[in-house]
Amino acid sequence: MPSRPKPQLIDTFAEAFDMRCTRLIVTADDLHWLDAALRSVAGYASSVIGCDAEVGVERRLNEEETPDGRPGAAVLAFGFSADGLGKAIANRVGQCLMTAPTASVFDGMPDEPKRLPLGRRLRYFGDGFQKSKQIDGARSWRVPVMDGEFWVADEIGFRPGIGGGNLIFQSRERSEGLAAARGVVEAIAPLVGTITPFPGGIARSGSKVGSRYPGLVASTADAYCPTLRGRTASVLHAEAQCAYEVVIDGIDRASIETAMRVGIETLERFPLVAIGAGNYGGRLGKHHFRLRELAPVDAS
């Protein structure tokens, strides 16, 4: 049986926008409790359209890479403003990590001059029994909890980031699209400096700016909905019955370019019909990632 041709690479660009980002180093006694902490802190954090921040695991850390010699992970969080990001992180750490058995939280951007308060906000939960400690010249707080102490950095660094890098890929069958979805997210996961914050790294409800309903800032990307062919101006490939989007946030442009390049190369190995990206004609964000410039060079 002849092999299917490579999917069409649409001549378009992904449109991304400025954000602020920070990195937490989260540790725990073992992988079970580390995973529990990570699932909680990254919950309800897919899109700032409706969430306080976009959050995801950047990478896993072994005991030699963490400040307290325990299993850990680097977690990236993105928000539209420094104030908004600071409030979101303090709330998430207080509700999701201080409550997580054995968890501790350290500053993942210690060299960034711009700072967000963290432990200094959460220390009051200690009701006067909290204590501060200097670790490598940085202050941390030890808040008494029922399994010992919750260690948390007094403050954390933050920097400019970019949100909204993306690839939209189309398939004939949902099973083929889901296989490609898992493949592309797994390929991007080891890369430093990026996260894919949606469920399993994938968004099935791509959005457009605005809505026919007053007050809604975003609504379904009807041009990609297969059930709306004939009722809207569809941009789906003639053979496509399914589309998925992988959204990529990064600490800088180079990080997103690398992730998108890896993403395109990975997706081209699957039996898809088209690979494209979401944009708003350049009106939403100043960062434009053109697919043709990021695509692997065809050696043939």
- Spell out the domain ranges in the chain: 8-15+163-294, 19-159
Q: What is the pLDDT of residue 298?
A: 66
Cα angle for residues 273, 275, 276 (degrees, 5° grid): 135
Tell me the fold of 8-15+163-294. Answer: Alpha-Beta Plaits (3.30.70)
In contact, 101 and 35? CB cutoff 8 Å: no
Model confidence band, residue 214 (pLDDT cutoffs 50, 70, 90): very high
What global pTM score does this model have? 0.94
Q: Which pairs count as long-range contacts for 216-223, CB under 8 Å and 24+ apart, including other chains? A: 217/49, 218/49, 221/278
Q: Pick the residue with more confidence: 96 or 209?
A: 96
Statement: residue 216 has pLDDT above 50: yes
Percent of the chain residues past pLDDT 70, beyond the cut: 98
Indicate if 19-159 has the same CATH topology as 8-15+163-294. yes
- Grouping H, G, I as helix, E, B as strand and the rest as coil, residue 276 is strand
Mean pLDDT, residues 196-206: 97
pLDDT tens-place string over residues 167-195: 999 999 999 999 999 999 999 999 999 99
Statement: residue 39 has pLDDT above 50: yes
In contact, 185 and 196? CB cutoff 8 Å: yes
Model confidence band, residue 136 (pLDDT cutoffs 50, 70, 90): confident
Statement: residue 91 has pLDDT above 50: yes
Model confidence band, residue 300 (pLDDT cutoffs 50, 70, 90): very low
Model confidence band, residue 154 (pLDDT cutoffs 50, 70, 90): very high
Please, what CATH class does the domain formed by 19-159 belong to? alpha beta
Q: Per DSSP, what are the bridge partners of residue 105?
A: 26, 152
CA atoms 166, 171, 177, 183: torsion sign: negative
